[in-house]
Amino acid sequence: MTRVNLKGINRVRKKLADGSIREHHYVGRGKGAVKFWDSASGVAIGSPEYVEAFTKASRSGTPAQGKFRSVILRFMDSQDFTGLAPRTQSDMRKSFFHATNGIDHKFGDAPLAAFEDPRIRRQALDWRDKIGGKVGDDRIRHLQRLVGFALDRTMIRHHHLMGIKSVYKGKRAEIFWMPEEIEAFRLGAPDHVWRILAIALETGLRPGDLFELTREHIHRTPHGHRIVIWTKKRKRLASIPVTARMAELIAETPEGQARLIVNKGGQPYQHENYLGDAVSTWRDKIKIRSELQLKDARGTAATRLLEAGAELKEIATHMGWSIKHAAEVIERYVALSPSMTDGLAEKLARAESRTKLQTAMQTGEGQT
């Protein structure tokens, strides 16, 4: 069993009537002890959820008043946190309560007065740089959010972490699933895993939206069908043309199966992250490029949507891109894929021309 370096944990093992052993974790000892975990909870020791439970239980034994931990706990009790999307809350919990490089681990015991000192900026940046990458950027961004919350609530008087910019520059826009890799995955992965990638390639939906996609999201239109779904990340209504291949995938879905993506047993996946995990596992088994991820299907999907008759503006809006970026992504994919026909490049050229004409007309109308 994993051990974590948290002070004040009292571990108690008890034998149950059936002979099995259950372990309980408390903060403190005796009558004043507060239980925060047991081995039947399903929560992994050292996970953000475990550390969060420990931290909240610690409030009774070790008051957080006067420490930065009080900001974390007060923020999590506020509408600033409870009003966020579940995925965003989950990401923040990881930043707050990661067992080795979380915000609480680094700054939780620091007095609030430390955040009044300008030198806290250097400490925070050093901490961010030590973590590195996108995770480091996420940690510092969440720390900035906490400090801003503390300033608004007059818990501190100064915000010395304003204006810190991200240092990680993602390059995923240049990573695509190539036709030969898609075909290798189709032939090598189990059908239920192939469907995850296939539907992502045809829709461009993020894992959180793929996870919830059902037959009820498919709507008939005068010219075919569209997928209409409220997206989790951007909280807006997306309307996506159903491509010919997507229509086949829908038709292949067994009668009575509501979710379009299910696991090997025919049941919905328990968490959206399992979709990406399944694709990555079989990617490695098939020995396809290790940098490919499920989310890299979005660039490929943009080309499929253009083929299906979607306008650049539609694609850009759906993907959360600018029109210019959508055109660049499609153009880059066409250039990298020798199997793509000139027809798609011609469609892109026509779509760009229409977009420029519409923009010019709107600008002219605004000037008259």
Residue type, 182: I
Tell me the per-residue pLDDT of 268-284, one tens digit each, with 9 for 90 and over.
Answer: 998 888 899 899 999 99
Provide the whole-model pTM: 0.54
Ranges 39-43, 47-51, 216-220, 340-344, most confident: 216-220
Does the structure show a pLDDT above 90 at 98? no
Contact call for residues 201 and 297 (beta carbons, < 8 A): yes
Contact call for residues 45 and 3 (beta carbons, < 8 A): yes
Evaluate whether 63-170 and 178-367 have a shared fold. no
d(CA 337, CA 92): 38
Which whole-number Å values give the CA distances from 246 to 81, 178, 187, 299, in the listed order?
37, 18, 18, 16
What fold does the segment set 63-170 form as a domain? DNA polymerase; domain 1 (1.10.150)
Please, where are the H alpha helices in the chain? 48-61, 69-76, 79-82, 86-97, 103-107, 120-131, 133-152, 179-188, 191-203, 207-210, 244-252, 273-286, 297-307, 312-319, 323-336, 342-367
- Residue 339 has a pLDDT of 62
Percent of the chain with pLDDT over 70: 86
- Residue 190 has a pLDDT of 96
- Residue 1 has a pLDDT of 42
- Residue 131 has a pLDDT of 92
Domain residue limits, the chain: 63-170, 178-367
- How many CB atoms sit inside 10 A of residue 218's CB? 18
Architecture of the domain made up of 178-367: Orthogonal Bundle (1.10)
Does the structure show a pLDDT above 80 at 295? yes
Does the structure show a pLDDT above 80 at 289? yes
Q: Per the structure block, which two tokens stand in for 269?
A: 């996946």
Q: Per the structure block, which two tokens stand in for 247?
A: 């229509």
